[in-house]
Structure 1
Amino acid sequence: MPNRSEQFAPAAFARIPVEGLLAAAVLLVLPRRPRAVAAALAGLVLGVVTVLDLLDMGFNSYLGRGFNVILDWPLLGDAESYVADTIGGTSARLATVALVVLVGVLLALMALAVVRIGGLIGRHPTRSTRVLLLCSTVWMTCSALDVQISGVPVASDHTVEMVRSREQAVRATIRDERAFAKEAKADVFGATPPEQLVPDLRGKDMIFTFIESYGRSAIEDPVTAPGVDSTLDANTQALAEAGFHAKSGWLTSATYGGNSWLGHSTFLSGLWIDNQSRYRTVTAGDHLSLTKVFEKTGAWDTVGVMPGVQKGWPEQKFYGLQKVYDAFHLGYRGPKFSWSTMPDQYALERFQQVEHGRKRDKPLMSELILTSSHQPWAPIPKLVGWDELGDGRIFGPMAKAGNDPKDIITDSQRSKEEYGKSIEYSVTSLVQWLQRYGTDDTVLVFLGDHQPIARVSGNHASRDVPVSIVAKDPKVLEKIAGWNWTDGLRPAHDAPVWKMNAFRDRFLTAYGSVPHPSGS
């Protein structure tokens, strides 16, 4: 069985598997009882490989990569939570039970099927030998001549290769864990004295904002681009009228389709965090995150607004956030919008009320994670008057009248359309907030954390996301003139593309930080 959904075709099931021929040969020479035991074990192994192929299929569809047998088991729990948050806890529990039953049935039936084949071979050894020799001859001939059906080789060693590749992936994962632990200890700015960190941003209110699933596809896909591009252009003009200007480029995210925290940590740590093991390693250490830089100086108050965080979040220390407002600390009394616990507009307004609008002795450094553009993009909130937000109950009728997530999930075209609308909503909310509350000293850095899932961005989409820096003070953007970014909120197609982990060091250098390496 293929391990990618786009490879499903009749030709994929017309192959002769070499592992089947080898297994038949072993069963042919074994006595009856050992044959039954070997057949059952072979069936269980084949069942496990099939389950892993199915996991590969799901992970490729949602995260653009295969399933890692060492690192990815905890993500299955996250998947259940996502389903529960999207379509309800009861549906999620029923789906989980159904999947567990299906896996058990699959393993049992696979084992029974191979035992049955072993019994047939044992009862008809002469005929089985002839058939095995014939199939082996056909396999070798097709292999030698590279015979294919619709581009798929008839002589297959797919399962053998899959087992081999998984074994190699396990070895690579173990090696990577060891190597990355050493890499994370080294930091170009790790020993930089506080007074030599971002001196050119002193006195500025810094805001680092991630927009969920805001990827290159939003700006360039034929379905989403017209609406998103016109929104970006209109907001660029609106910012200019308010005295703000922007420059934009592209960053290649360490993740795709999900696992947003990997994108956040890559951007802020300056390290390539593309799996959970790396994430645990870096967030448990003392590597200097971009947001923690501002705390280390002692010249800023630091705060996080995380409406997507719904449980304990020990990473707060790594990110240098003195205070964090999660889903339960923003006073929201309105409905959820699918996975998103509250509309971005509400989260931004509450940020203004509880932190940004307060009088303080120091400027503020904030990390905001906006969630309204999280899949499945149904229902999507609409902008309301900023003075009408209250405690969020105004959104009640809007959520009830919105699309049902189940209708959007099953329709790729509608998923694209609604995804585009969600990006328009999130960007416009952020820009309107900046117009309303930004000052001469406000500096906003905002970007996407990753591309949307393959159902929207395509099976071979890039990992690029837009990134923008917005400010009133012309000196802020003059510092990055050498980056050759595009003026405005919409990066040009050929604007520079950096790996996401490159941003931290470039940003710190641009604003006057002096390198003092540590841990090397």
Structure 2
Amino acid sequence: MSSTTNSPHLPDTEQATPEEDVTPKTPPADTPDDTARDSAAEEAAASDDHTAAAEATAEEAEASTAGEPETGTAEKAEPANADEAEPVAAEEVEPATADEAEPDAKRADASASDAPAGEAPDQPVAARRRWRDRHAVAARNVGWVVTVLALALVCVALLMPTRIDRFSPGVFLRIPVEAVLGAGVLIALPRKPRLVAAVLAGVGLGLLTVLNLLDIGFYMFLGRGFNVVLDWVLFDDAKSYLEDSMGRGGTIGALIGVVALILAVLALMTLAVLRLGNVMARNRDRATRATVAIGTVWVTCAALGLQLTGPPLAARSTVALVQDRMDRVRATLKDEAAFAKEAKKDAFGNTPGDQLLTGLRGKDVIFTFIESYGRSAVEDPDIAPGVDATLTAKNKELREAGFAAKSGWLTSATYGGSSWLGHSTFLSGLWINNQNRYRTVTAGEHLTVTGAFKRTGAWRTVGIMPGIQKNWPEGKFYGLDHVYDSRELGYRGPKFSWSTMPDQYALKAFERLEHGKKHDKPLMSEIVLTSSHQPWAPIPKTIPDDQVGDGSVYKDIAKAGKDPADVFYDSDKAKEEYGKSIQYSVTSLIDYLVKHGKKNTVLVFLGDHQPMAKVSGNNASRDVPISIVARDKSVLDKIDDWNWTDGLEPDPKAPVWRMDSFRDRFLTAYGSQPNPSK
């Protein structure tokens, strides 16, 4: 046997083992075969790099299954835990894997190829991945928190009541059927349709939440929900009200806040639904089992009528709410056509002027609306003591001056605001409870109480409207010969929040411009007093008549008054100041009548609506007091069969009529003969 191979005398370079490189240190010239081998090695190396990057991405996705999802993240064909593995057909896994894993693989390739040799890619995504690698547990916990918050946000939106007094913990401890159905849809859909469905659902849920918030606000102020057909016009009035109450700067800030809130609700709701959809897609089996289990619980609760503290555990409030909104839209559109026909019918539409109001000929008649003068003012235990004391004192002054009064109740067509609806209902004899009806009736020729005075030709008819700050074409519909708005009353003092001038000044201007002058006809007047308009701060004070002047004297009074923001957001303070404002308005009116009233003066005064729910209560009636005051006893004798209460304060058991019934009762009581329009 030869010993050449193992000879210790050979050079080291000639000794080799199977694991050692025996390639000569000075390679010979490349051959075609060598070049091919080198090229294949380079391609293999590149392939290995790409494979490593893709594997890193897959490992990262597995580490954060419950963590933050990224749109388009691949759904794993293999479960993270062995107990999750279930046999599935290849065709069920392949489409999702091919559709969803490819983008991550491409991103991994791009990151590996774009980064300089030996350096990690310095990009936000890469930084986020490095943070997850270092803090895997924290990342997983953060992901769970975000998922839970997204689920809570969606459930709150689905279960939110539309009235503030219905909020309670029990309302949110229910199972919304809409969430169960939505989860089933998102689980079943492939990736791209799922994303589209999630975005649409999120935007829809955001819009529904905004509408629910509008409902809450409308119930607080107007005692009714938001009408998606009619109520958009009210936002312009709301803006004007904010400017009068908060100033221009405060109003701009409030509007910016409202817009930001709407955008935030839409964005957060959309992101929440996307989040839940992605988490369920990555955990399809678990999500399916959970959805089926929750759906079964919902069906059981619904069948047995189970409940915890009030509302049923099986909730379907969102479906009912959407259905209610659709019903209201249909009813609104149907009502518009029906009311147009109703407005053309008029029991006194063709009555000649000489057959109208024969029982009031020769009388100066004053119709006065006191803003927000509602039943709560004389019955609420926190408000009534001061108002009742004022009514008692002023009733005594009236009797001493030779006047008498009778009082009853009317149910207003509006609540908390929209005073013009109450005014038009009272004067037209039609139930005008929305803006469409108001536009319809004021565009027509339906006879109003004030219009009846004008038709007789026996009265001069005027309006004192301090709340109107621009042209008011409706004055013609009401049959007024002349309307004095805020620009024509000569006031040079400060505004009192929304109210352009104190009631005492408005009545003083009425005496100067019309009532104190000699006319060849008696005077019929419509006066709207505004000092009791919310937010009830600052409130004017009664001063001697000879000091009123052009109103400049009120500057110091306004400065000394309360700030609207200090009153409006505090229910107790709002009640207190509201009561004071009613006392001021009633005092101003009765003081005027006692001083300037004549033997032929007849005063009809009433509230146009109740104050908002914060003051009157969440379940308050819409009733308002109404009084007729006269020195001539025969005027009150003509309404003796109405069974009203003697004095300025109606008895709680006095008759309650709908406000639209007053016109016909009044016209009939004072000698008008019905002659219906054809």
Which TM-score applies when normalising by structure 2? Answer: 0.76
> d(CA) in 1 for partners of 2:618 and 2:260?
30
1:98 aligns with 2:257: yes
SS in 2 for 1:378: coil
The code of the aligned residue for 2:523 comes to L
1:493 maps to 652
- 1:112-261 matches, within 5 Å, as 112-261=271-420
1:82 aligns with 2:241: yes
1:417 maps to 576
Pick from 50, 58, 68 the counterpart of residue 227 of structure 2. Answer: 68
> d(CA) in 1 for partners of 2:536 and 2:394?
22
1:152 to partner: Cα distance: 2.2
Q: What fraction of aligned residue pairs are identical, expressed as a percent?
A: 64
SS in 2 for 1:493: coil
503-512 vs 292-301, greater mean Cα deviation? 292-301
- 1:99-498 matches, within 5 Å, as 99-498=258-657
SS in 2 for 1:152: coil
> d(CA) in 2 for partners of 1:143 and 1:44?
28
> d(CA) in 1 for partners of 2:263 and 2:651?
51
> d(CA) in 2 for partners of 1:444 and 1:384?
23
> d(CA) in 1 for partners of 2:233 and 2:508?
34
The code of the aligned residue for 1:467 comes to I
1:369 to partner: Cα distance: 0.2
The code of the aligned residue for 1:34 comes to P
> d(CA) in 1 for partners of 2:203 and 2:226?
19
Deviation digits for residues 443-468 of structure 1 (CA, Å, limit 9, x no counterpart): 10000000011111100001100000
1:321 to partner: Cα distance: 0.8
> d(CA) in 1 for partners of 2:389 and 2:258?
43
1:413 to partner: Cα distance: 1.1
> d(CA) in 1 for partners of 2:237 and 2:275?
38
The code of the aligned residue for 1:153 comes to P
1:312 to partner: Cα distance: 2.1
> d(CA) in 1 for partners of 2:257 and 2:373?
33
1:40 to partner: Cα distance: 0.3
SS in 2 for 1:88: helix
> d(CA) in 1 for partners of 2:351 and 2:507?
33
Bigger relative contact order, structure 1 or 2 (CA pairs below 8 A, ≥6 apart): 1
> d(CA) in 1 for partners of 2:471 and 2:316?
46
SS in 1 for 2:431: coil
1:49 maps to 208
The code of the aligned residue for 2:632 comes to D
The code of the aligned residue for 1:304 comes to G
SS in 2 for 1:61: helix
Deviation digits for residues 108-131 of structure 1 (CA, Å, limit 9, x no counterpart): 111121112111122111111001
1:80 to partner: Cα distance: 1.6
1:149 to partner: Cα distance: 2.2
SS in 1 for 2:291: helix
> d(CA) in 2 for partners of 1:257 and 1:45?
30
1:485 to partner: Cα distance: 0.5
Runs of at least 5 residues in structure 2 that lack an aligned partner in the other structure = 1-159
> d(CA) in 2 for partners of 1:150 and 1:191?
59
SS in 1 for 2:203: helix
> d(CA) in 2 for partners of 1:501 and 1:401?
41
The code of the aligned residue for 1:191 comes to N
2:170 maps to 11
> d(CA) in 1 for partners of 2:528 and 2:200?
48
> d(CA) in 2 for partners of 1:108 and 1:187?
52
Which TM-score applies when normalising by structure 1? Answer: 0.99
Deviation digits for residues 204-253 of structure 1 (CA, Å, limit 9, x no counterpart): 11100000000110001111111111111111110111111110000000
SS in 1 for 2:245: helix
> d(CA) in 2 for partners of 1:215 and 1:99?
31
The structure 1 segments of at least 4 consecutive aligned residues displaced by more than 6 Å after TM superposition are none
SS in 1 for 2:553: helix
Deviation digits for residues 334-368 of structure 1 (CA, Å, limit 9, x no counterpart): 11111110000000000000011111101111000
SS in 1 for 2:477: coil
> d(CA) in 2 for partners of 1:311 and 1:72?
21
1:150 to partner: Cα distance: 1.5
Query: Across the two proteins, how many residue pairs are aligned to each other?
Result: 519
SS in 1 for 2:528: strand
2:55 maps to none
SS in 2 for 1:222: coil
Larger radius of gyration: 2
Deviation digits for residues 68-89 of structure 1 (CA, Å, limit 9, x no counterpart): 1101111122112111111111
The code of the aligned residue for 1:209 comes to T
The code of the aligned residue for 1:387 comes to D
Runs of at least 5 residues in structure 1 that lack an aligned partner in the other structure = none
Alignment RMSD = 0.8
> d(CA) in 2 for partners of 1:19 and 1:317?
52
The code of the aligned residue for 1:425 comes to Y
> d(CA) in 2 for partners of 1:230 and 1:109?
53
> d(CA) in 2 for partners of 1:93 and 1:273?
32
SS in 2 for 1:317: helix
Deviation digits for residues 417-447 of structure 1 (CA, Å, limit 9, x no counterpart): 1111111110010001011111111110000
